[in-house]
Amino acid sequence: MSTIIKSTFAAAVLASAALSSPPGFGGQRENNNISSVEIAQLPRFCWAQMEIPGADGPDFHILNCGPGANHYCTGLLYMIRAKGHVPKSTRFDLLGHADTDIKYTEKAIKDWPSCSIRDHVAESRVEVDKLMAMFGYNGRRAK
C-alpha cells in the first residue's frame, strides 16, 4: 500500500474515532478542544497524550524523555493553529505559546540523551523560529 493511501486511511480512521468519541472524553483532547484535522497533523507519538482512542503501544508515546516532555505536543498544537486562518493577534499569541512549550521541552530533555523526540524537537524549534520571522513576531520570546 502506498504511503499516501496509508496516510489517508490512517487520517480517516483517526477522524472517525475522534468524531465518535463519547461525551466527557476528558483530558488533553477535551481541554485543548482538538479537532480531528489537528489530530491528523500531530505526530503519532502525541496521540496517546491527546487520548486518541486506540492509541496504544510505543509508537503513540514519547519515550525516554523524562516528565518535562509533556509540554511538547501542546506546543505542536499551538504551532498548527498558528499556521491556520486566524487573526494576526491570535497568530502571535499561538506562536508565543508554541515557543514557550518547545523551549520548555528543550530544557526538559537536555539530560535525556536517548529521548525519542530529540530530532523532532530540534526541527520544531527551527520551524517556530521561521514562522515568527515570517509573520513579523516581535513579542516576548521564551528563555
Give the residue extent of every domain in the chain.
3-60, 67-134
Cα distance between residue 99 and residue 7, in whole Å: 28
Q: For 22, left (φ over 0), alpha (ψ -120 to 50), or beta?
A: beta
Residue 17 has pLDDT above 90, yes or no: no
Q: What is the average pLDDT value for the chain, to the nearest integer?
A: 82
Tell the burial category of 113 from Cβ atoms under 10 Å away from its Cβ (0-12, 13-18, 19+). exposed
Instruction: Report whether pLDDT(13) > 90.
Output: no
Q: How confident is the model at residue 126 (pLDDT cuts 50, 70, 90)?
A: very high
Confidence band, pLDDT 50/70/90 cuts, at residue 5: very low
Q: What is the DSSP string of 8-73?
A: HHHHHHHHHHHHTPPTT--HHHHHTT--HHHHHHS-GGGTTTTT-TT--SGGGS--SS-GGGGGHH
* pLDDT value for 139: 73
Residue 143: what pLDDT? 76
User: How confident is the model over 99-114, as a mean pLDDT?
Assistant: 96
Name which of 31, 25, 118, 36 is nearest 80 in CA terms: 36
What does the pLDDT look like over 71-100, one tens digit per residue? Answer: 999 999 999 999 999 999 999 999 999 999
Q: Higher model confidence: residue 30 or residue 68?
A: 68
Higher pLDDT, 11 or 39: 39
